[in-house]
Amino acid sequence: MCRYSDFSMFFGSDGALAIQLLTVASIASGIALWVFIYKGQKVGLAQYAIPIILWIAFGTLDITVTAKGTYNAPTNEGNPLARFIFVETGFLGPVVASVLWISLWSLLVLIINKSLKPPLSQYLSLVVFYSLGIGHIFGFSSWFGPSCAIARWEDSFLPILPEFLRLILFGAVAAACHTLISSSLSRTRRPAPPDNAQEGPAPGGTGCRSRTPSERTPR
C-alpha cells in the first residue's frame, strides 16, 4: 500500500510505460464505444455527468498507477477479480481489465435505464456510478502516498462489512445527496407565473364584454 510518494514516480519506464499508455488508450476507446451505444439506445448521460466524470478521472488514475505497480508482479493487486485477470492475461492485464470493467458497468446501467422508469432508474444509475467513482478514489489512494490516509480510513470504516458493500453504501448516500440537490435546484429555477397575467372569465361567464355605444357598428 502507498508505494509512490509523488507524481514523479507515477509513470513507469519501457514495458511498464507502454502498458500504461495502452491502458489509457483502451479506456478512451471503451468510453467512445459506450457513448455511441447509449446514443443509439436513446439513453441520456448528461444526468449522470458528475459521477461519470468522477469515475473516469479516478478510474484512469487508479488503473494507470496499478499498471505500473503490477507490471511483472500481478499479485500486488489487492482486488481479487482484477488480480485474477492480471495473472491470467499477463502483461496485458490492465488493458483487458479496463475494457471488461467499463463494459460490465456500462451494460448494467443501460439495462437499468431500459427496464426501469424514473426516478428509480436514475437513482440506481447514480448509485452505480458514484460507487465506482468513490471506489477508484480509494483504489488510487492505496497506491499514492499523499492520499494514503483516505485508503486507510476506508479500510477502518465499518470493517465488519465487505468492501463492496461499503462502496455501495457510499454510492447510495452520494446518489441520495445528488438527487436532493438536483430537485432543490430544479424547484429554484422553475419560472414563477407573471404578475400581470390576465384573469380568465368569471365562472359561468362567456368571456365577452359588451361594446360601448361608440364601438357599435352603425347601421
pTM for the full predicted model: 0.82
Domain ranges of the chain: 7-186
101: left (phi over 0), alpha (psi -120 to 50) or beta: alpha
DSSP secondary structure letter of residue 72: T
Q: Which candidate, 174, 138, 129, 132, places its Cα nearest to that of 65?
A: 138
Cα-flanking dihedrals φ and ψ of residue 4, to 5°?
-115, 125
Can you tell me the distance from the alpha carbon of 151 to that of 149, in angstroms, rounded to the nearest whole number?
5
Q: Which of 15, 14, 171, 164 is nearest to 94 (CA)?
A: 15
Those residues with Cβ within 8 angstroms of residue 102's Cβ, 6 or more apart along the chain or in another chain: 27, 30, 31, 34
Q: pLDDT truncated to tens, each residue of the chain (219 aa)?
A: 676 666 666 777 778 899 999 999 999 999 999 999 999 999 999 999 999 999 999 999 999 988 988 888 888 887 888 889 999 998 899 999 999 999 999 999 999 999 999 999 999 999 999 999 999 999 888 887 777 888 888 888 878 888 889 999 999 999 999 999 998 988 887 665 666 555 555 555 554 454 555 555 554
What's the pLDDT score for residue 76? 83
> Looking at residue 204, what is its pLDDT?
53
Torsion-angle region of 208 (φ positive above 0: left; ψ -120 to 50: alpha; else: beta): beta
* pLDDT for the residue 142: 85
